[in-house]
Structure 1
């Protein structure tokens, strides 16, 4: 007796009956739109990258921003990472991002877990207090008075503590913790586990996706923040990279001690003087690259993490 192998269903047979078949014109239109959107994102980044690697002659011939590279001149990056104000700003931004993300994640996880337990002390008043921040924000002047009154002026903690907990991230994390089966937590309590052990051994291992997404949100926020530095930091040696970028790009200020006549020696190329525009574009690249490097490692958690708390039907 011969057996007939089951026929594989084609892609069209798996299409719902109410869904129309894609037309050639529709597929062409979707491809065109996606191509234009991709070009709108990649072309500016390409121009910034090429300009940062161009010499003064190439920039002058192009009349500003360079689209097609001719010769590579990394002198702008050599100037940035050779020390000075910009090199220190990169270090300050990195330090703020790591410390701020660690503080924010720790406080948000602890607060979200406490608020996810309905029998916790002060559950409803504390939850109402956090939700109230969606509607009422203290404003710039009261925040400035509080920070300066605590003696945090010209202190890096002023760039992390005022924004340590974001109410939206807290609500998202709390919603995920509430979806964890209560039987797991009750069984751990029967075995004698305390709340901290339950959080670290049961809740957090089940919440890696959402914690990774919330951590990325905090890290990108700290890396891109510059307004708090304008308010609370007056010393140049404590300015983060985004604050310098805001001054260089938006206000049109030239980078101090590195623009125009700074001459650096590059092995294999010789001595080169990077133009001010190339240094500005190099600062932009240094600002963008860390997020581009980290995102692919976190991207796989986004599908699960960002839909937490959404309405499912």
Structure 2
């Protein structure tokens, strides 16, 4: 088939516009990556668009991986992500299964109360008093238990469970399966796309969380990675990482050091997306089919 001049122009314009938008979207990430790999002196003297590292140096990354706070922050964040996502999936699936079953007493009123929490909350002070009152302050549990269930994710998983034919669960129940058996051996295996979406949502949420840690964690050895990152980028506390560096070099290295910390803190969670991408769209569509 011959393509008209107008259609060629339309396709060319689309390619140009989408390429420009892609570059605008990707450039901030590329800028941070190139800056982290740049020689500090060359980077500070560089002006204009940065399309490649200004010089090349891994000095900033060496300082990052030699810093104990970064490494302990990584360990604490991994613990919170693994334990938190496991807790989230278990609690959310239990709630979603209960609210998706027909004939459950007061199902609709309970669902309305849960949805109510999406729009109205008690506020920061009652939240702080509740968490400290049950003895979670200065523990990693303060970053896991208060966020055990997300209302939005609960509704999404409940909608997915409601799409499973009742005949499947009823036949298992008639064969003597308990509700937990039905949930963990039938319902969840049939809902892996939405479970993958939950893992992604909860995992990214725990990885990026810093506010709860700032409220409840006082012991610096329990700081998660994002709180360490906040100290470096916002509070500008890099002196501990630059100990032993000449005062002249501190000002140079501190700039590329901030960019390298961002890359180190971002790459692991970005690596999760390719493994869950094939489930993401399918899981979102399944969860959006019914109300």
Q: Answer whether TM exceeds 0.5 for this pair.
A: yes
Which residue in the other structure is 1:245 paired with? 229
Q: Is the 8 A contact 1:48 1:65 kept in 2?
A: no
Which residue in the other structure is 1:233 paired with? 217
Larger Rg: 1
Which residue in the other structure is 1:255 paired with? 238
Cα separation, partners in 2 of 1:65 and 1:237, compared to 1, 3 Å: farther
CA distance in 2, matches of 1:147, 1:213: 28
**Which 5+ residue runs of structure 2 have no aligned equivalent?**
none
Which residue in the other structure is 1:195 paired with? 179
How far the C-alpha of 1:153 sits from its partner, in A, is: 1.2
Q: Is the 8 A contact 2:194 2:287 kept in 1?
A: no
Which residue in the other structure is 1:92 paired with? 76
**Which 5+ residue runs of structure 1 have no aligned equivalent?**
1-9, 13-20, 264-271
How far the C-alpha of 1:236 sits from its partner, in A, is: 1.8
Which residue in the other structure is 1:205 paired with? 189
Which residue in the other structure is 1:135 paired with? 119
1:33-52 to 2 correspondences below 5 Å = 33-52=17-36
Q: Is the 8 A contact 1:260 1:275 kept in 2?
A: no
Q: Does the alignment pair 1:294 with 2:272?
A: yes
How far the C-alpha of 1:292 sits from its partner, in A, is: 1.7
Q: Is the 8 A contact 1:115 1:174 kept in 2?
A: yes
CA distance in 2, matches of 1:254, 1:248: 5
Q: Does the alignment pair 1:75 with 2:53?
A: no
> 1:306 aligned to 271, 284, 288, which one?
284
> 1:283 aligned to 253, 261, 265, which one?
261
1:54-74: per-residue Cα shift (whole Å, max 9, x none)? 222222322699543254322
CA distance in 1, matches of 2:223, 2:85: 18
How far the C-alpha of 1:309 sits from its partner, in A, is: 3.9
Number of residues paired by the alignment?
A: 286
How far the C-alpha of 1:234 sits from its partner, in A, is: 2.1
Cα separation, partners in 2 of 1:120 and 1:256, compared to 1, 3 Å: farther
Describe the SS at the equivalent of 2:286: coil
Bigger helix fraction? 2
CA distance in 2, matches of 1:56, 1:186: 66
CA distance in 2, matches of 1:66, 1:22: 36
1:13-41: per-residue Cα shift (whole Å, max 9, x none)? xxxxxxxx982333223212221221122
Bigger Cα displacement from structure 2, 80-89 vs 166-175: 80-89
RMSD (Å) for aligned C-alpha atoms: 2.6
- TM-score (normalizing by structure 2): 0.89
Q: Is the 8 A contact 1:249 1:280 kept in 2?
A: yes
- TM-score (normalizing by structure 1): 0.84
Describe the SS at the equivalent of 2:258: helix
Q: Is the 8 A contact 1:112 1:177 kept in 2?
A: yes
CA distance in 2, matches of 1:213, 1:31: 30
Q: Is the 8 A contact 1:223 1:242 kept in 2?
A: yes
Higher relative contact order (CA 8 A, sep 6+): 2
